[in-house]
C-alpha cells in the first residue's frame, strides 16, 4: 500500500498525479483521500506517542526468600530519558559556565556546530589541530552526553533538492508520510539538525515538528540545530545571552515544556497485598528504591524500561 499526506491552504477540486521511474507499469486502484481535523490529528499522534514511548510496568518487592512484601514503600526517580533530545553545541561551552549548566541540565546528545568539520580540524593542508573538539568530547563524556559526528565530506548545498525542507505552513502530514517511508528501510531514524526560521509561528511550528517526531516509532532521537554563540545563533536560538528563555511562549519554553512532559516525574507509593507496585512510565532508566517496615534497610536498583522488554521487575529487599 502506498500512502502519503499533505496540508492544503485552500479548498476546491484537486488532481492526484502518480509518477515512477520503474520499468513496470503502474496500476492505481482504490484511491481515497481522508481529511483530518487538527484535533483528530493530535489525538492520533498522542495515542501513537503513548504506544511508542511509554509502558505500564509492575514492580514486585520480595524478601531474600522470594516472598512478596506487601506495604513496602517504593520510589522511582528518572536517571535518563529513553528518548534522546539534544542540541548542537559550540566551543563557547568550554569557557562559559552558565552555558555548561544550561546545556547539561537539558540535553543528552549533541553535535558540534563546526568544530569537527574538516575545515576546522585541518585549516591548511597538513596542519591538523583537534584540541578544541577533543576538549569538547571530554566535556560531553564527563556529563554523559552522546556525540554525533559530522560528515567528512559536505555536498554542495546548491545541489540539494529544495523540497527537502519545509516552508510555511509546516507540512506535518508530509513529514509523517516521509518518516513512514524511511521507516521501511528498517534502520533507526534520527532528526539531526532541526531548526525553524524566525517568525510569529516559530514556536508553534517547532512544537509540531518535535511532537510528530516523538510520536513516530521509527524515530530514535532529535538534535536541535541551536548552538549558542554570543554573536547569535545560526537560525534558531533557545535563550538570550544570559541563558534565560526568550519571551513567554517562545521556543525555549516549548523545549523545556516537552522535556518535562516526556520525562516521568518522581513517583512514590506502597506495594499491594502481593508486593506489586504499578506505574505508567516513559521509556528510560530509573532508580527504584524500596523500604519495608520489617527491615532496617532500603534497597536501590536500576531498572530500564524500553520498547520490547518485559514489564515485570523484581526488587529483592
Asked if residue 154 and residue 231 are part of one domain, the reply reads yes
Residues 71 and 271 sit within 8 Å (Cβ to Cβ): yes
- Per-residue pLDDT of 262-295, as tens digits, reads 999 999 999 999 999 999 999 999 999 999 988 7
Asked if residue 284 and residue 215 are part of one domain, the reply reads no
Q: Does the global pTM surpass 0.85?
A: yes
The CATH code of the domain that includes 229 is 3.20.20.80
Range of the domain at 294: 46-79+266-316
Asked if residue 304 and residue 181 are part of one domain, the reply reads no
Cα angle, residue 261 at apex, residues 207 and 74 outer, rounded to 5°: 165
pLDDT at residue 39 greater than cutoff 80: yes
**Residues linked to residue 303 through DSSP beta bridges, in sequence order:** 286
pLDDT at residue 307 greater than cutoff 60: yes
**Residues linked to residue 268 through DSSP beta bridges, in sequence order:** 75
Q: How many domains does the chain have?
A: 2
Cα angle, residue 260 at apex, residues 36 and 58 outer, rounded to 5°: 90
- DSSP output for 124-185: BTTB---HHHHHHHHHHHHTT-EEPPPPSSPPPGGGS-GGGS--SSP-HHHHHHHHHHHHTT
pLDDT of the residue at 160: 57
Asked if residue 125 and residue 66 are part of one domain, the reply reads no
- Per-residue pLDDT of 223-241, as tens digits, reads 999 999 999 888 899 999 9
Asked if residue 154 and residue 300 are part of one domain, the reply reads no
* Cis ω before 169 (30° cut-off from 0): yes
Amino acid at each position: 500500500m502506498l500512502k502519503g499526506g499533505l496540508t492544503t491552504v485552500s479548498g476546491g477540486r484537486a488532481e492526484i498525479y502518480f509518477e515512477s521511474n520503474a520499468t513496470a507499469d503502474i496500476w492505481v486502484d482504490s484511491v481515497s483521500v481522508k481529511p483530518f481535523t487538527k484535533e483528530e490529528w493530535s489525538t492520533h499522534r498522542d495515542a501513537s506517542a503513548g504506544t511508542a514511548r511509554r509502558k505500564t510496568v509492575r514492580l514486585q518487592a520480595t524478601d531474600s526468600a522470594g516472598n512478596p512484601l506487601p506495604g513496602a514503600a517504593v520510589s522511582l526517580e528518572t536517571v535518563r530519558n529513553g528518548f534522546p533530545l539534544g542540541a548542537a553545541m559550540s566551543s563557547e561551552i568550554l569557557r562559559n559556565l552558565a552555558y555548561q549548566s544550561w546545556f547539561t541540565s537539558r540535553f543528552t546528545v549533541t553535535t558540534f556546530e563546526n568544530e569537527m568539520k574538516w575545515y576546522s580540524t585541518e585549516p591548511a593542508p597538513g596542519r591538523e589541530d583537534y584540541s578544541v573538539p577533543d576538549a569538547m568530547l571530554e566535556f560531553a563524556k564527563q556529563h554523559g552526553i552522546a556525540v554525533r559526528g559530522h560528515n567528512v565530506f559536505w555536498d554542495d548545498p546548491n545541489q540539494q533538492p529544495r523540497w527537502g525542507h519545509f516552508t510555511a505552513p509546516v507540512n506535518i502530514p508530509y513529514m509523517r508520510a516521509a518518516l513512514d517511508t524511511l521507516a521501511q528501510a528498517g534502520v533507526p531514524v534520527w532528526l539531526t539538525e532541526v531548526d525553524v526560521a524566525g517568525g510569529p509561528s516559530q514556536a508553534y511550528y517547532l512544537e509540531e515538528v518535535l511532537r510528530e517526531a516523538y510520536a513516530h516509532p521509527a524515530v530514535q532521537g532529535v538534535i536541535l540545530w541551536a548552538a549558542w554563540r554570543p554573536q547569535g545563533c545560526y537560525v534558531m536560538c533557545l535563550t538570550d545571552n544570559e541563558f534565560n528563555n526568550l519571551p513567554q511562549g517562545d521556543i525555549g519554553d516549548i523545549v523545556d515544556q516537552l522535556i518535562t512532559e516526556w520525562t516521568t516525574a518522581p513517583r512514590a507509593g506502597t506495594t499491594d497485598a502481593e508486593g506489586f507496585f504499578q506505574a505508567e512510565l516513559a521509556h528510560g532508566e530509573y532508580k527504584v528504591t524500596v523500604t519495608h517496615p520489617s527491615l532496617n534497610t532500603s534497597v536501590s536498583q536500576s531498572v530500564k524500561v524500553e520498547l520490547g522488554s518485559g514489564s515485570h521487575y523484581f526488587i529483592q529487599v
